[in-house]
Every structure is written in C-alpha cells, then in structure tokens.
Amino acid sequence: MPAGTPLEGRVQALDNLTILDLTHHIAGPYATRLLADFGANVIKVEMPGGDIARQLGPFQGGVSHPEKSGTFFYLNCNKRSIVLDLRTAGGRQALMSLAARADLVVESFAPGTLDRLGIGYEAFRAINPSLPLVSISNFGQEGPYRDYRLSDLVLYAFAGEMYSMGETDREPVKMAGTAALFESGAAAAVAMMSAIFSSQRHGIGQHADISLAETHFGGVDRRHATAIAFQFSGRKTLRLASHGGGMPGGIYPCADGYVDFTNAGLYPDRVADMLNHAEWLNDARFMDPMQRLNPAVIEEWNGHFIGWCVERTKREIWDEARRARVLCGPMFTMEDMFTDPHFRDRGFWTSAQHPAMGEVTLPGRPLSMPRGGWELRRAAPLLGEHTREVLAEAGLDENAINAAMEVAR
Amino acid sequence: MNPKPLEGIRVIDLCVVWAGPFGTMLLGDLGAEVIKPENPFVFQPMTRGAIARPPQIMADNAIAWSGGLPGGRVGDRPWDYSPTFVSLYRNKKSFTVDLRRPEGLDVLRRLVAQSDIVYENNASGTLEKLAITYEWLREANPKIIFMRVPAYGSTGPYANARALGVHLEAVMGHSLLRGYADADPSSNTAIYSGDYLAGAQGAFAAMTAIWHRDRTGEGQLIEIAQAENAAAMFTQAIMDYSLNGNLQGAMGNRDVHGLALQGVYPAKSPGTAATMEDHWIAITIETDEQWRAFATAIGGPGWAGDPRYATGAGRVEHHDEIDARIAEYTAMQDDYELMQRLQAVGIAAAPVLEASRMFDDPHLRARGFFRTQTQPSSGTYEYAGPLWQFPETPVEYYQAPIMFGEHNEYVYRELLKVPEEEYQALLAAGHIADAYDASVP
C-alpha cells in the first residue's frame, strides 16, 4: 500500500485527540507533527498568508513558492490546514467553536498576542476549565526577555552548548540546519502530552509555559552538564575541536572522506583487534591508562593508525570497526544516506503525493511502534485546504463559515 | 497539591550514557517513578562517569563536563557525582542487583510485574546476553511497554554497530553539514544532538504507548533507531537533496534558509579563549527593515548605508565584507549591553553564553529557573532547571541525583516485600550494596 493512503479501521494511539494548532515556523509545528503522526487530529490554523515556514527553503525547483517549501512540507504532513483571521470577530468565533471540541490548544505567537486579541487562556478556560493551553515562545511568557527574539543560531548560542563548539582560536560555531529548534520541538511534544495527561487523567487544565531557551538550558547535549561541572569544580568547558588524538579519539581523514572515532580509545583491546595488532594487548605503552596519556606514546600510535585510515574508504573502515565492536561513525553525505541499503531496507524512507509537488520522498517513521504507531495519512496541506471541511465538522453553518473566512482589511 | 501528570506510572531504567537516561529523566520530571537497577560488579562506561575509580589525573585531564567533579576532587564515590550523571539522574531511584545471576534476574522479574515501562538503550545484544527479551518481560507482565533505543535498529547491516551520539551524527549527515564553511570537518567538536532528540521522542513515545495501553489494554515493544530518529533534525538538507538533488555543505553560522545576515561576532572580552573568558555575540537579521534598525542601533555608520546591503540578496552577496565591518564594531561592545540594544529594536541577538555565566543571567533568575539540590555524596549545588513550566503541575526536583544503591531498602523491602531470609541471602551474595565492588576499576 502506498504511504499516505488512509488505513481503514486501523487504530492509532492518539486518534481520539484533537489538537488546535496555532503554531508556526519550526519548533511548534514539529511538536504537533509528532502528535499528528501518531493519530491526533491536528487542525493547523494559519493566518491569511500562511505559516511563515511556507516561505522557508529549500523549495522544489529552487524558486520560492508557498506550496513548494520542503521545510514546510516535512513539518506539516498529517495535518489539516484552515485559514482564520483572528483579527476578525468571525475568525475568533470560529476558533472558539473549534476549541470547544479540542483536547489541547497550542500556540507560538509572541507572548501577550492572544490576550490582546481577546482569546487568551481565560477565554479557553471559560469554554472548558480542563482544556490545556500550551504556549511556546522564545523566552517564556514572563520575565525580562519576554519580548526578545530568537533564531536557531541565537537560541543555540545563548542557551545551548555552542560556546565550546569549534576551534579554540576561532568563533564558536552552531549545529547544522535548525537542529536547535527541532530539539525544542521534541521537548514541546512531551510537554503537550504531559498537559493532555493532566487534563484527561486528573481533570487539571492549565496554561503551560514553554520557553525555547529553557528547553536548551536544561538539555542533555552537554549544557546542563557544563553548568553543574562549573558549580562543582569552578571548571569551564574549553572550546576544542575533535582533531584525532586519543588512540583513537576524534575525527580522522580517510581515503574518501572522514571517520569519527570519538571515545573509541576507551576499549583498547577492541581497537587492537580492529587493526589486527593482537600483540598490542601485551604492550603496556598501548594498554596502561597512564601511559596512554603520554604524548610521545600517542604520537607513535598515531603513526600506525593514520596510515591505516588513509588507505581505506570510510565504509571499509566502518566494516572493520563494526567487526571489532569499535566506536566509529563514517561521515555520510545526504547522498550516502539516501542510497544506503541499511536505511532503505529498514523502510526509513517514505513518499507522499502532493498536489503542487507531485511525489515527494521524505524520512518516514521516527520510531517503530507496532500497535497504534506512526502512519503517513496525508501530505502537508495546501494553505486553507480544509477550512470549510473543518468548520463544517465543528457545526458551523454556511453563514458562519463565510463569516469565519473573511479577512480583515 | 495536584497529582503529577505521570503519577502512578513506574519505569525500569536499564539505560546507559545519555539518550536513554534523558528520556527517563523527562518521565521522572513528570512524576513517573523511575527505578534504575545497577550492578555492583559491572561498570557501565559513560553513565556514572568514564570508569568507576578514575585516578585524579584522569579527571583533571578530562573535559570539564566530564571531569569537573565537586571541589575538583575524585573523592570516595566518584560514580555518584559525575557531571553528566547528576544532570540526568534526579527524580529517579537506584537499587543494586547483579542481573548476571539467576536470583538477580528473578528480582528484576518481580519488579517488571509491578511496572509499566522498561526502558533501555544498551549496545545491541547486551540484554539478550542476560536473557532479558520482550518475550521474557511479557511473561512477567503481559501489558509491559518495552522501549528500546538502539543506535541503528535491531535489523539491517548496522544492527550491531557500536555508537555514541557523536558517531550517529556522522552517519546521519550532521557532521558534514556543521562546522566552519572554510575548514575541514575535523574542526568539528563532538556533540550529542541526537541524544536530545531520541530522549525527548522516547519520553513522547512512552507516554503515547501508555495512552494506547489505557485505551486497548495492549503493551508493546517500541524501537527507536537513533540514526533514523535524529535525521529529521536536518530536514532542510534532506529535503534539498530529495526535491532538488542538491548536496548542502557546512554553512558555519549562516542561515540554512539563506536569510541574511547572520553570524557570531567578537565582543569586548575580559580574557581569552584559553581561559574561557572570550565573549561573542550572535546576531540574526532576517528583513530589510531589521537591517535598517540594526544600522541605526549601532550608530548609523556610513558603510551601513551602502545600497548594496539594503536587500537580502545584496547582503547574501556581500556577507563577508559586512561581517568584517560588524566585527570591528562589536569587538568594542559589551555582549549583554549590545543584546539589549538590538533586542529593543526587534533584532534577535544574544551572547554566546559560556555555561558559568547562565547563573548570573537576570532573566533566568527572574523566572526561578535554577534548582538547588543536596546530594549527601557531593553536597549542595545549584543545578539547571527543568525544560518546561507547568503552573498547576510544576516540575520539582523531589529526589536529588541518586547515589549508588540509595533505594535498596525501598525496592527490596517496600516494593518487592522480599522476605528477610532472602534479603540476607542477596546481601551476602553481593547483590545489595551501596558501592561498586572493590574488583571494579
């Protein structure tokens, strides 16, 4: 069965939940995409003109087009799109009709925006006291930086562990793409589930405050550890590249690219096996933890290792490393990934038909959950594709739907 | 006090290193009871530190987030207070048992019978060697949810490949996509963004599976292959290849969507990078209007009025020369002061914050972000706070980072109600301990 076809009668874990999704850009839509993937009925409310992510590349064909953004496409599969102008009374009334049937409302406007429109938490609470509102914002709903802006770079610079990334004598350097925003989005998906659990298991409604910055200040990618290491010891984490050097450790060039052997030296016996040097197991210079800190020993060892690497391709090196159970990662390009038999044969890739882009190949399931798990039910929606359908489901009559579709001048 | 969202959910944490423990940490923060079985005879590297009893020189030579121990000293119980461990093991419980022996495995079986989730991310084959399989777990508890977080998945040619997060970053393309545009990839620093994503999605999946179980009565085996899971973070590069056949490369600090300008610029610094006192400011300008506001905010220098810089396309074309001009200016500015000045006119800007400085940040202080915890092994310190703020169900740090075997009495006597005779036998056999066995290096 082609991906994207609805599965008749199949139960998905979250298919009894309706999410009213007022998020835009990357972090919020990634969070709601996860819930949608596991069956939630996610109603994506876009302002006239659409989610700003529709203007973010890459675009199919390289030319900006609101229905051809690969970024928007990935983030919004499995959702339905409606357009409401929340500056109009009709738009707000329609939103409240949808909220009355929702299990969770999530938004990512600048703090205070919904209040100014008269549709803040109190308005949702008045409809349903146990209806949670999750607000995702740059720095949170309160505090001195409440109105400050963020980008993926500025978020990671300030709240993530960017300071220690890069060469000591150069500027700190970020992760690729918008990885920091994706991490925040995954953390926000957990928060949404938490709010749903509190609401549906315990009858507790609340206005949850998700600060993108705090999702990184408390995050696992070294920031919480660098913080407590300083509190413990007064030590700070030096910015340092992973040039090879730890018998082995770090990144090494090879015949056709690079391989990463970070921490591989923790298991010297396996490394000796990988290199077919069984005699090293009896060589104290290479086995004794103290002697392995000696720069002269490391240099001698590198003399063996670097030559071994440059004579082999990244895949050949990884084959040997896997055989000997050595920590190793070949540096793949996207082409390597797309053509790799492991990812292909496990069914990692999927595809969907889209009215403007045709058949699109994209990464499939983020995880395997055999019962009630991931399905690609529909491609990303066209702007406002489902406005009439969704409002009719909410019981709005033709006049109310027309009023809801008016745009403020 | 309101019940916590996951109150009543019990999780067995068979996790190692970061990706698994981060997932169970999030579940613990939300009120699940997370119990970690630990073996007094087997040390799991990179979980409670690199090795159980590191020589002082090893800690001193290690990077701060690994070797920065309390007071700079290895002390008596280094496994209790490794910086990465304490960051991930609040709000959990620790008890000891040797799962390699049948009576130890039987203790686990009884605990499984009373639990909702078993969560593990060991190297493939580790649990199988202990005869811990989904079938075995299901026999103990038909509704159990078994979360497995292998590196590459349980099938396919890479199923047995060893990996930490950083190796997965390489395979899923991240390592070639990040770093300086003008340097070779060995200038990259080992990072662990995949651990973040797999941990958060693991917590999400566990909650989704509980939701499903409560609707249907079904437990299940969930597999998160980390290399597949985290690839989504590089959506722009993946979709550019998928849609257009373009291979993106490292872009340094520039915007992946091509908005200009964006960069990290030197700020007035009290010291150098070698002493970790170099200051930098990150700035993102996405629109022409922001560019004009920026020019005004920095005093309207003549070069900023260059018409070639007025449009996004122009700023992309002349990015390098604009960067050099901006750097000349920012090098004389205080990073925090410049952040406030730029943010006041709607521009995203902030210092590249070295971790120790977060404790002085007025915003985090005003929001009460930090949490003070007292662990008897290490003392009282201020820790980074939780990832979210819930007014009605606040995340509290109700249990300080767990000391080895801290909850033996609770697990064996209260939870499992092990008879006194068996308790004494387990104690004599070394299952119940409050430290690693002397044989563990």
Give the pLDDT score at A62. 96
What percentage of chain A carries pLDDT values higher than 70?
97
DSSP letter at B122 equals P
- Cis status of the peptide bond prior to A2, with omega within 30 of 0: no
Pairing of β A207-211 and β A79-83: unpaired
The answer to whether residues B375 and B351 belong to one domain is: no
Give the pLDDT score at A409. 67
B295: CATH: 3.30.1540.10
Give the pLDDT score at B328. 98
* Closest Cβ opposite residue B223 in set A30, A188, A368: A368
> Tokens 């839509």 identify what position?
A29
Question: Does residue B137 fall inside a structural domain?
Answer: yes
The answer to whether residues B203 and B146 belong to one domain is: yes
Is the pLDDT at B149 greater than 60? The verdict is: yes
Helices (H), B245-379: 288-297, 312-317, 319-330, 335-343, 362-366
Q: Domain spans of chain A?
A: 18-222+344-404, 251-335
Mean pLDDT of A314-337: 97
Tell me the shortest Cα–Cα distance from A386 to chain B, in angstroms.
25
Is the pLDDT at A9 greater than 60? The verdict is: no
Question: Does residue B250 fall inside a structural domain?
Answer: no
B169: CATH: 3.40.50.10540
8 Å CB contact of B175 and A174: no
Look up the domain containing B285 and give its range.
267-355
- pLDDT-based confidence at A10, cuts 50/70/90? low
- pLDDT-based confidence at A3, cuts 50/70/90? very low
Tell me the shortest Cα–Cα distance from A160 to chain B, in angstroms.
8
The answer to whether residues B280 and B379 belong to one domain is: no
Question: What's the domain count of chain B?
Answer: 2
Question: Does residue B438 fall inside a structural domain?
Answer: no
Using the 3D structure, point to which of B298, B326, B355 is the last residue of a domain: B355
Select A251-335's CATH number: 3.50.50.60, 3.30.1540.10, 3.40.30.10, 3.40.50.1000: 3.30.1540.10
Least confident piece of the model among A235-239, B121-125, B189-193, B270-274: B189-193
The answer to whether residues B312 and B382 belong to one domain is: no
Is the pLDDT at B55 greater than 60? The verdict is: yes
- pLDDT-based confidence at A402, cuts 50/70/90? very high
Question: Does residue B4 fall inside a structural domain?
Answer: no
- pLDDT-based confidence at A6, cuts 50/70/90? very low
CB A316 within 8 A of CB A322: no
Mean residue pLDDT of chain B comes to: 97
The pLDDT tens digits of the residues spanning A343-358 come to 999 999 999 999 999 9
Give the pLDDT score at A253. 95
User: CB contact, 8 Å: A393 with chain B?
Assistant: no
The answer to whether residues B198 and B73 belong to one domain is: yes
Is the pLDDT at B6 greater than 90? The verdict is: yes
The answer to whether residues B306 and B418 belong to one domain is: no
The pLDDT tens digits of the residues spanning A237-296 come to 999 998 877 899 999 999 999 999 999 998 999 999 999 999 999 999 999 888 888 889
Using the 3D structure, point to which of B355, B378, B396 is the last residue of a domain: B355
The answer to whether residues B39 and B169 belong to one domain is: yes
Question: Does residue B262 fall inside a structural domain?
Answer: no
The answer to whether residues B214 and B272 belong to one domain is: no
Mean pLDDT of B195-209: 97
Give the pLDDT score at A7. 40
Q: Which chain A residue shows the shortest CA-CA distance from B392?
A: A206
CB A208 within 8 A of CB A136: no
Question: Does residue B120 fall inside a structural domain?
Answer: yes
8 Å CB contact of A186 and B204: yes
B152 contacts on A by Cβ (under 8 Å):
342
Give the pLDDT score at B22. 98
Is the pLDDT at B408 greater than 60? The verdict is: yes
- pLDDT-based confidence at B333, cuts 50/70/90? very high
Is the pLDDT at A2 greater than 60? The verdict is: no
- pLDDT-based confidence at A4, cuts 50/70/90? very low
* Closest Cβ opposite residue B63 in set A159, A195, A237: A237
How does DSSP assign A71-128, residue by residue? HHHHHHTTEEEEE--TTSHHHHHHHHHHHHT-SEEEE-SPTTHHHHTT-SHHHHHHH-
H-run or E-run covering A349: strand A349-354
The answer to whether residues B321 and B406 belong to one domain is: no
8 Å CB contact of B389 and A234: no
Q: Which residues contact A307 (CB under 8 A, 6 or more apart)?
A: none
- pLDDT-based confidence at A206, cuts 50/70/90? very high
Is the pLDDT at A8 greater than 60? The verdict is: no
Q: Which chain B residue shows the shortest CA-CA distance from A202?
A: B3
Tell me: domain A18-222+344-404, CATH 3.40.50.10540, correct?
yes
User: CB contact, 8 Å: A327 with chain B?
Assistant: yes
Question: Does residue B35 fall inside a structural domain?
Answer: yes
Burial class (CB in 10 A: 0-12, 13-18, 19+), A116: exposed
The answer to whether residues B55 and B147 belong to one domain is: yes
The pLDDT tens digits of the residues spanning A133-186 come to 999 999 999 999 999 999 999 999 999 999 999 999 999 999 999 999 999 999
Is the pLDDT at A388 greater than 60? The verdict is: yes
Pairing of β A79-83 and β A41-46: parallel
Strand partners, A59: A69
Tell me the shortest Cα–Cα distance from B372 to chain A, in angstroms.
11
The answer to whether residues B129 and B57 belong to one domain is: yes
Interface probe with B: pick from A139, A168, A231, A294, most Cβ of B within 10 Å: A231
The pLDDT tens digits of the residues spanning B82-126 come to 999 999 999 999 999 999 999 999 999 999 999 999 999 999 999
How does DSSP assign B364-417, residue by residue? HHHTT--EEEEETTTEEEEE---S-B-SSS-----S-SPPTTTTHHIIIIIIS-
Mean pLDDT of B373-379: 98
Question: Does residue B439 fall inside a structural domain?
Answer: no
The answer to whether residues B398 and B289 belong to one domain is: no
